[in-house]
């Protein structure tokens, strides 16, 4: 298995701080957010890890990767750079995933993780489920609030099988949302190219899952531990302050 960590966005909702620093490299508890993601991936034994970013922030990620390798904590890390310099040029998450799959010649089972995730659960639970049936599998989280769920991809799930998926619905059917953590078997990686070539919405992964669920069985694993999408200043401040207190 290989891992792909998505860091290609420009995080306009966190400006002005993200005008200079990419969101995955913002500090929490004295470490960049992306450090915690790397730790979680290493825990499940994935050696080859690919980070995708944009031209604007490529130098900062190259510096971070060099530092990780020099410290002995990097392992087999690679960087793929999308040819974009500002938000108006961004490929979108799905087009970016397909771009990286092709550029990095990925042919193995693939773990995809959003680079702005911050959570304290272990990936082994969702990986174990994936390994049982080798179906596309999504790590899920129950927000317990339909109001909060409006900002995410909302999932209907029964017996670990997704029965519905809505991207940022005005009236969510459930409080269970996607965490931006996905596992795909190698034989299904061509679906990304097919989706893009068909002219579908290239942005949020939720649109891809909506398309995929029509013809394929998608599984989901619900986590109870803490999970945060660092998508706003308020969320970042909440998590930042929480970890400052721990220190």
236: domain CATH number is 3.90.550.10
Closest to 164 measured CA to CA, from 190, 138, 186, 144: 138
For residue range 152-181, what is the model confidence (pLDDT) as tens digits?
Answer: 999 999 999 999 999 899 999 999 999 999
Number of domains in the chain: 1
**pLDDT for residue 205:** 85
Task: Please tell me what DSSP assigns to residue 69.
Answer: H
Residue 102 Ramachandran class (φ > 0 left, ψ -120 to 50 alpha, else beta): alpha
d(CA 192, CA 173): 26
User: What is the pTM assigned to this prediction?
Assistant: 0.94
For residue range 196-231, what is the model confidence (pLDDT) as tens digits?
Answer: 999 999 888 888 999 999 989 999 999 999 999 898
For residue range 14-25, what is the model confidence (pLDDT) as tens digits?
Answer: 999 999 999 999
Coil, strand or helix at 27: strand
Closest to 25 measured CA to CA, from 55, 1, 48, 59: 59
Mean pLDDT of 177-198: 96
Could you tell me where the DSSP H helices lie in the chain? 33-43, 58-70, 93-103, 124-133, 146-149, 190-197, 205-212, 233-246
Query: What is the extent of the structural domain holding 136?
Result: 2-246
**pLDDT for residue 246:** 63
User: Could you tell me the pLDDT band of residue 122, with boundaries at 50, 70 and 90?
Assistant: very high
User: Could you tell me the pLDDT band of residue 74, with boundaries at 50, 70 and 90?
Assistant: low
Q: Which residues, in sequence order, are CB contacts of 175 under 8 Å at separation 6+?
A: 142, 143, 144, 145, 146, 148, 149, 154
């Amino acid at each position: 298995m290989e891992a792909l960590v998505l860091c290609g966005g420009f995080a306009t909702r966190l400006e002005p701080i993200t005008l200079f620093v990419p969101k995955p490299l913002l500090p929490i508890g004295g470490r960049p957010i992306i450090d915690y993601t790397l730790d979680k991936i290493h825990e499940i034994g994935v050696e080859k890890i690919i980070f995708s970013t944009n031209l604007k922030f490529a130098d900062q990620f190259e510096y971070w990767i060099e530092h990780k390798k020099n410290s002995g904590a990097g392992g087999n890390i690679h960087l793929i750079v999308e040819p974009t310099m500002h938000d108006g040029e961004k490929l979108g998450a799905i087009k970016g995933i397909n771009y990286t799959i092709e550029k990095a010649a990925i042919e193995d089972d693939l773990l995809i993780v959003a680079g702005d995730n911050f959570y304290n659960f272990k990936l082994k639970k969702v990986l174990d489920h994936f390994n049982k049936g080798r179906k596309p599998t999504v790590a899920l989280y129950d927000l317990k609030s339909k109001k909060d769920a409006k900002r995410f991809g909302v999932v209907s799930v029964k017996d670990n099988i997704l029965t519905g998926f809505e991207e940022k619905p005005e009236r969510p059917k459930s409080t269970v949302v996607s965490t931006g953590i996905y596992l795909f078997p190698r034989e299904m990686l061509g679906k990304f190219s097919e989706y893009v070539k068909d002219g579908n919405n290239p942005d949020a992964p939720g649109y891809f899952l909506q398309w995929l669920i029509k013809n394929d069985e998608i599984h989901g694993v619900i986590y109870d531990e803490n999970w945060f999408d660092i998508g706003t200043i308020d969320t970042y401040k909440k998590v930042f302050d929480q970890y400052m207190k721990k220190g």
